[in-house]
């Protein structure tokens, strides 16, 4: 367990030009007025929430400017060739990979995750630019023979228009790339609103977009702290914006959906999760525990697909618990930029308090047993929390009903397949689920019965640009990545040619 000392973040980067301090609109970095309010970006992994940047808290007029710029740019950008857009996207992928370590440093500094996790995020996020560079020339339509023999019909996929992208703090780079890559590939222009806790990654990405040569106004990034809800409302209600995509909480997603109804914008949402990690007694125990660690503790549990509750078949609970305990005790908690740190900090004190509350509820109200006490590490800083492991957790505990988004591993015993499926589906959300068994019948039965958009079998890490990512129920709708990833950024136009001459 250790801290990390530094004075100037520019000295931590090979390319200090990646650090930008204003919004990026219409191909230009806005000038900060003396009268403009500002907000501070802090390092959650420091001992005293060290301020690492101070950025302008822009007025609402910046959103109008960004939407206008994106709308004007769209008129020309939509007519660029798929190969040209693919070339820009490929260049952007290359730039991200060339600057991967610096971009990872920025993620660590503003988010708190370990450098290895941050570097993994950057490389993962960059793959979306590569993937959609390859998908851009493949927006195929269909030829249709209607009932009228003298008519011919064909369809084409066209870009929906200006896209408003609203992103969270937990993946400050990859959540933007996953959305923007698909939008830019099909010919849409974008306005990006990053979370004010983690804007530096978004601004660094905008800088690389500029270097990649995208046309002015095709990509815009706006900053706000105090007026974030008003920024979202602007994007939703402006009729020039034809699509809203958001990753974040279910509550905010519902608000945005209501607001977008006024302009009939297309929407796609990746919202809250509460992933069950189901372990059957016939699993490969070592492999399962290794994957459990990866699924639960990446980013200290602050991921939307993070395993939230561990349903372990009763006969296997003692062995599973002991093997998992051994690995968790080997963690080294510290500042994410320390080479010795396996895990960094939580994003803020609210995340820490929620984790504490879920632990207290499981133990004091529902009789869970403490395997590893864990808890706050104030000697490292206000946002550090050593993982807690509990066993014999009741399904009625808060941790089973709500998403913890923190380093609490809650082990719930079960006996039958039917019982664990019922436990898992007793939830309003359905993003990701995990199933571990050597029995292929069990794998198929359970994965098909689970009410979630994604089921990962015998692996704890499944995110990939080639797969469709998204949930069901109150986890939202729409799919990101894969060949389906362009669907939410396009509209299908049907063209009919009638009264043709009779066939020869």
Largest CA distance in the chain: 86
DSSP 325-339: HHHHTT--BB-TTST
409 Cβ contact list (under 8 Å, min separation 6): 292, 296, 297, 310, 324, 328, 387, 388, 389, 390
Spot the catalytic one: 58, 110, 121, 270.
Answer: 270
| DSSP secondary structure letter of residue 264 | T
> Torsion-angle region of residue 480: left (phi > 0), alpha (psi -120 to 50) or beta?
beta
CA atoms within 13 A of residue 430's CA, in its CB half-sphere: 19
414, 311 contact by CB (below 8 A) = yes
Task: Tell which residue, 330, 328, 311, 280, has the closest CA to residue 410.
Answer: 311
Contact status, residue 197 vs residue 348, Cβ threshold 8 Å: yes
- Whether 270 sits among the annotated catalytic residues: the reply is yes
Contacts of 5 (CB under 8 A, 6+ apart): none
Q: What is the DSSP string of 187-229?
A: T-EEEEE--TTSHHHHHHHHHHHHHHTPPTTSEEE---STTHH
Provide the 8-state DSSP code for 379.
Answer: T
What is the distance between the alpha carbons of residues 388 and 408, in angstroms, rounded to a whole number?
5
Tokens of residue 430, six digits: 């359905």
Distance CA 13, CA 104 (A): 10
Distance CA(294)–CA(409), nearest Å, equals 12
Q: Which residues are catalytic?
A: 270
């Amino acid at each position: 367990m250790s801290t990390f000392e530094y004075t100037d973040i520019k000295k931590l980067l090979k390319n200090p030009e990646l650090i930008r301090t204003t919004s990026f609109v219409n191909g230009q970095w806005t000038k900060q007025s003396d009268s403009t309010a500002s907000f501070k970006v802090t390092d959650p992994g420091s001992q005293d929430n060290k301020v690492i940047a101070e950025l302008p808290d822009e007025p609402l007029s910046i959103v109008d400017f960004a939407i206008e710029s994106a709308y004007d740019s769209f008129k020309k950008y939509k007519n660029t060739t798929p190969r040209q857009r693919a070339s820009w996207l490929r260049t952007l992928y290359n730039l991200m990979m060339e600057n991967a370590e610096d971009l990872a440093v920025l993620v660590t500094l503003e988010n708190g995750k370990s450098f290895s996790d941050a570097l993994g995020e950057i490389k993962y996020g960059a793959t979306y630019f590569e993937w959609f560079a390859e998908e851009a020339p493949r927006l195929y339509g269909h030829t249709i023979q209607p009932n009228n023999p003298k008519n011919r019909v064909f369809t084409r996929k066209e870009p929906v228009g200006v896209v408003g992208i609203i992103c969270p703090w937990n993946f400050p780079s990859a959540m933007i790339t996953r959305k923007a890559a698909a939008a830019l590939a099909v010919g849409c222009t974008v306005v990006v609103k990053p979370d004010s806790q983690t804007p530096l990654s978004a601004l660094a990405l905008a800088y690389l977009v500029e270097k990649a040569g995208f046309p002015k106004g095709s990509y815009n990034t706006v900053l706000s702290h105090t007026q974030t809800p008003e920024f979202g409302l602007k994007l939703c209600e402006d009729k020039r914006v034809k699509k809203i995509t958001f990753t974040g909480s279910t509550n905010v997603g519902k608000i945005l959906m209501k607001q977008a109804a006024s302009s009939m914008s297309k929407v796609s949402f990746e919202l809250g999760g509460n992933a069950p990690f189901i372990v059957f007694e016939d699993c490969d125990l070592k492999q399962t525990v290794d994957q459990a660690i990866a699924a639960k503790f990446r980013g200290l549990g602050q991921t939307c697909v993070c395993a939230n509750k561990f349903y372990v078949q009763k006969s296997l609970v003692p062995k599973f618990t002991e093997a998992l305990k051994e690995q968790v005790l080997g963690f080294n908690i510290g500042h994410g930029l320390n080479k010795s740190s396996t895990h960094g900090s939580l994003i803020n004190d609210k995340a820490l308090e929620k984790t504490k509350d879920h632990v207290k509820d499981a133990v004091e109200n529902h009789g869970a047993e403490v395997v590893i006490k864990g808890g706050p590490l104030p000697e490292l800083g206000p946002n550090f929390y050593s993982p807690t492991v509990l066993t014999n957790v009741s399904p009625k505990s808060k941790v089973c009903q709500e998403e913890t988004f923190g380093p609490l591993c809650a082990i719930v015993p079960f006996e039958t397949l039917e019982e664990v499926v019922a436990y898992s589906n007793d939830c309003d959300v359905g993003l990701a689920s995990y199933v571990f068994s050597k029995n292929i019948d069990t794998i198929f039965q359970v994965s098909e019965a689970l009410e979630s958009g994604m089921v990962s079998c015998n692996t704890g890490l499944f995110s990939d640009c080639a797969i469709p990512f998204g949930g069901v129920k109150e986890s939202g709708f729409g799919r990101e990545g894969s060949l389906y990833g362009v669907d939410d950024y396009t509209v299908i136009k049907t063209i009919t040619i009638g009264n043709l001459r009779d066939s020869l």
